Amino acid sequence: MSEKQTQDDISSSNINDSLYEISQIIQNFNKINIKGIEPTTTNINKNIFDQDLSIVIEELVGLILKELNEGVYNEVIKKHVINFIIDHGIISQEIYNYLLNNQNNSNFIYLLGYFYYHGIETNIDMQKAYELYQKAIKLNNNNVVARLDLAEMYILGKGVESNQINRNKAFELSKKLAEEGIPNAINKLGYCYEKGIGTYADWQKAFEFYQKAAELGNSTGINNYGYCYYNGIGIDVNKQKGFELYQKGAKLNNYIAQYNLASMYENGNGIIKDIDQAIYWYKKSAEQGYNYAQDKVEMLSEK
């Protein structure tokens, strides 16, 4: 199956890790354009102490890492990051300005890169995000979340050239992180083997790494593990096993697993057809902003 799919392709087949395929949801969420703002402490709310912001920033980085390892997709994590800031009674611009003024901490540098990558309080700037991720790693080579996001940029070709050298970097960085037992990286490594990114395509290895990620509770790995069974990637086709894994991922609120589960119910592929269940799971996926699922809800509701 090609990495990019048409609407018809998606309507008729299950899909795997949209972490690398979907970029169309939650656009401009809570975004304020302050492009070109100069670093200045005068922009910081005087009622917020440096120590308070430092704690919030460290907790935000911890939240991002935790959810990446749980298999939450980037678009959803971004929403959670913004909600976390709001829940703490802080304006996200205050954190952005603080980060501009405090670049001596690896996590601070990383989070500023994250803001540039996702367009939080600034325009999306992949090149700046790439440079800041590299800077964060240079300051602290054990910064796992910066290394994970850098690996993803190499995989996607965002902020860097899409060439063989960078694909090799994607594979090597994912491999090193996977060896450290990082669930998100283990899933990434499976994707590299499935698609032949920085290495030869090896579906058996892709299957094995997706299985490992799934066993560690990574919901994206669970979905991809199910995808392998459903499509016979590195294993014989077993639609029932695929169904069970999609169901498990769906219950963990993985919107691609929810979509795939709904698709099986809609088409009766390996299970009894159930349009009500299809609509239910398409709605669950759509609630997280997945446009293809919303299209399905509208289509099935009209019948």
- Quick check: is 293 in a domain? no
Residue 249 lies in a domain: no
For residue range 161-193, what is the model confidence (pLDDT) as tens digits? 999 999 999 999 999 999 999 999 999 999 999
Q: Give the integer Cα–Cα distance in Å for 230 and 233.
A: 8
Q: What is the pTM of this model?
A: 0.85
Model pLDDT, residue 8? 36
Does a structural domain hold residue 302? Answer: no
42, part of any domain: no
Q: For residue 120, is it within any domain?
A: yes
Confirm whether 39 is domain-assigned.
no
Cα–Cα distance for residue pair 65/183, rounded to 1 Å: 10
In a domain, 125, yes or no: yes
Q: How far apart are CA 293 and CA 161, in angstroms?
A: 32
Q: Is pLDDT above 80 for 261?
A: yes
Query: What pLDDT is recorded for position 48?
Result: 53
pLDDT surpassing 70 at residue 12:
no
C-alpha–C-alpha distance, residues 139 and 208, integer Å? 34
- Do 170 and 151 meet the contact criterion of CB atoms below 8 Å apart? yes
Say if 204 falls within a structural domain: no
When divided into structural domains, the chain yields a total of 1
Domain, as residue range, for 69: 49-145
Provide mean pLDDT across the span 255-278: 96
Instruction: Tell me what pLDDT residue 247 has.
Output: 98
Per residue in 41-57, pLDDT tens? 344 444 456 678 999 99
Which among 57, 15, 4, 3 is positioned nearest to 254, based on CA atoms?
Answer: 15
